Amino acid sequence: MRFFKNFYHALISQSFQDIVKFFIILGLLYWLISTGSERLEYNWQWYRVKQFLFTLDQNGFVPGPLLQGLWVTLKIAFLSLFLTLIFGLITAIFRLSDSFVASLLARVYVESIRNTPLLIQLLFNYFVLSPILGIDAFMTAVLTLSLFEGAYASEIIRAGIQSIDKGQWESAQSTGLNRMQTYFYIIIPQAYKFLIPPITNQSVALIKDSALVSTIAIYDLTMQGQVVISNTFLTFEIWFTVAVIYLSVALFITFVVYVLEMYLHRGVQS
């Protein structure tokens, strides 16, 4: 009798219901995809995909075009993220400064970048500006991306700085620190914990936006995918594979930052 009671409780318990719901949703998704692909009358050839990721033979592990493209994407993303944070920080400080010119400059930069499409900026920078400045396609892509994401990052950083209590500024001033010292010793060390989640979002957005650099013939993950498709016509297989690679990179970043946050917030009472 008691066993049945326990069993009944387990059956109606919240977690068990959640698991059932999860599997129902999973089943629905699977059904949707399988019927959709059947209705397409598309000839799936998944077995041809692996060679474009990597080959394993007597030469050992040789990365295929897609993994080479991923490497380029990661290089672009890493460099751009570094520059994004620098641009964002400088712009945020300009924006909050008492100087009218500096804050106007920051405002014009942020508003003009945020209100124009990234693709147009990329094409404009590549075909119009970069021949004048004499920088190559790769650097043009990195600069365009970091200027674009930097505009968003500056708003995040500004909000983070403004969230610090006014009293902190006053006490810093009374101990004789100047503005820059106050920023670097008092404000930013307190603000950066609040910045981590939105900046993570920005990094993931950066990686996704970097797909656009394929339009200026940089052989990133998206471009390599396009080239493979144009040679093999494995359209859906390759695009799905590319999407999964982007997804895994984004999830990996999110996971790393989650672990980092755990570490930073250790011993802090929420």
Partner 1 sequence: MSYLKPVILSIFILFFIAGSAYSSQVRSQLAQESTLEQVMKRGVMRVGMSTFVPWAMQSKEGEFIGFEIDVATRLAQDMGVNVEFVPTRWSGIIPALLTGKFDIIIGGMGIRPDRNLKVNFSMPYDYSGMSIVAHKQKAKGFTSLDDFNSSDVTIAARLGTTAASAAGDFMPEASLRLFDDEAQAIQELMNGRVHAVVASAPLPAFQAIQHPDRLFVPIEENFTQEPIGFAVRKGDYDIINFLDNWIRFVQAEGWLKQRKHYWFETRDWADQIR
Amino acid letter for position 172: A
CB 77 → partner 1: shortest distance, Å?
Answer: 21
Q: Which is nearer to partner 1, 105 or 135 (CB)?
A: 135
Q: Which is nearer to partner 1, 90 or 229 (CB)?
A: 229
Neighbours of 39 (CB within 10 A): 8
Q: Which is nearer to partner 1, 126 or 152 (CB)?
A: 126
Q: Contact with partner 1 (CB under 8 A): which of 118, 229, 250, 257?
A: 229
Residue 44 found at the interface with partner 1 (CB under 8 A): no
What DSSP element (H or E) covers 139? helix 137-162
Q: Restricting to residues 22-41, which ones interact with partner 1 according to CB under 8 A? A: 40-41
The dihedral through the CA atoms of 88, 106, 160, 179 has a sign that is positive
Residue environment code for 166-188, b if the CB has 16+ CB neighbours within 10 A, otherwise e: eeebeebeeeebeeeebbeebbb
Query: CA-CA distance, 80 to 148, in Å (whole number)?
Result: 10
Which listed range, 49-57, 103-111, 187-195, 226-234, lies at the site for partner 1 (CB under 8 A)? 226-234
Site string for partner 1, 157-196 (x = CB under 8 A): ----------------------------------------
The dihedral through the CA atoms of 27, 205, 241, 252 has a sign that is negative
Q: Which is nearer to partner 1, 157 or 218 (CB)?
A: 218
- In 3-state terms the chain splits into helix, strand, coil percentages (rounded to 5) of 85, 5, 15
Residue 232 found at the interface with partner 1 (CB under 8 A): yes
Q: Which is nearer to partner 1, 118 or 227 (CB)?
A: 227
> Where does this chain bind partner 1 (CB under 8 A)?
40-42, 127, 131, 137, 215-217, 223, 226-227, 229-233, 235-236
